[in-house]
């Protein structure tokens, strides 16, 4: 088996296991809306059910549309990620890690969608309960981290490409 697929399996397995273990704990030990202060005026563990996507996007849409959308899109996204990964060199560890993180996060949230028709969120950051970031979970962190790493890699690659192009023009 190619190295990149081993990375995919290991990272995905770890992220899904961690995400689901914490979600099971929150789901079975917290009441909906219950909050435990971890860092006063900054961070709580709060049981939230997210029927939408990031920031509650589409949460208020018709349930039939929402369920169809959220049950059909992740498999499509996972196939796209596998297609992209197929073209990535085995030696491009950073890109493999980024894609694997997105893949693992997508599976973690998809499991919730299949089981509950919503995603369990619990990481609740706020400043003095005035300014609040929408609650999220480990799978969300993996997706955002993976996308962030991909964007950084693309930015650095573009910067390197421009630098090489200037060198070539200067030498020519």
State yes or no: pLDDT of 172 exceeds 70.
no
Highest mean pLDDT of the ranges 58-62, 90-94, 167-171: 90-94
Residue 110 falls inside a structural domain: yes
The count of structural domains within the chain is 1
State which residues form the domain around 58: 3-166
End-to-end Cα, the chain, rounded Å: 44
Residue 171 falls inside a structural domain: no
pLDDT at 92: 96
112 is catalytic: no
pLDDT at 147: 97
Mean pLDDT over 50-59 rounds to 76
Residue 58 falls inside a structural domain: yes
Residue 162 falls inside a structural domain: yes
Which of the pair, 146 or 65, is modelled with greater confidence? 146
121 is catalytic: yes
Catalytic annotation, pick one of 19, 112, 121, 124: 121
State yes or no: pLDDT of 13 exceeds 70.
yes
Catalytic annotation, pick one of 19, 112, 124, 140: 140
Judged on CB neighbours under 10 Å (0-12, 13-18, 19+), 57 is exposed
Residue 172 falls inside a structural domain: no
């Amino acid at each position: 088996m190619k190295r990149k697929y081993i990375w995919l399996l290991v990272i995905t397995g770890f992220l899904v296991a961690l995400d689901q273990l914490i979600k099971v704990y929150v789901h079975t030990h917290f009441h909906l809306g219950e909050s435990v202060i971890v860092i006063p005026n900054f961070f709580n563990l709060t049981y939230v059910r997210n029927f939408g996507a990031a920031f509650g996007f589409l949460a208020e849409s018709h349930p039939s549309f929402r369920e169809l959308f959220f049950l059909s899109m992740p498999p499509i996204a996972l196939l796209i990620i596998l297609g992209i990964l197929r073209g990535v060199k085995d030696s491009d560890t950073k890109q493999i890690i980024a894609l694997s993180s997105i893949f693992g996060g997508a599976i973690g949230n998809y499991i919730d969608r299949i089981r509950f028709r919503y995603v369990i969120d619990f990481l609740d950051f706020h400043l003095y309960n005035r300014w609040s970031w929408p609650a999220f979970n480990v799978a969300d962190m993996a997706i955002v981290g993976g996308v962030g790493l991909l964007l950084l890699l693309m930015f650095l690659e573009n910067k390197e490409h421009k630098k090489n192009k200037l060198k070539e023009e200067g030498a020519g």
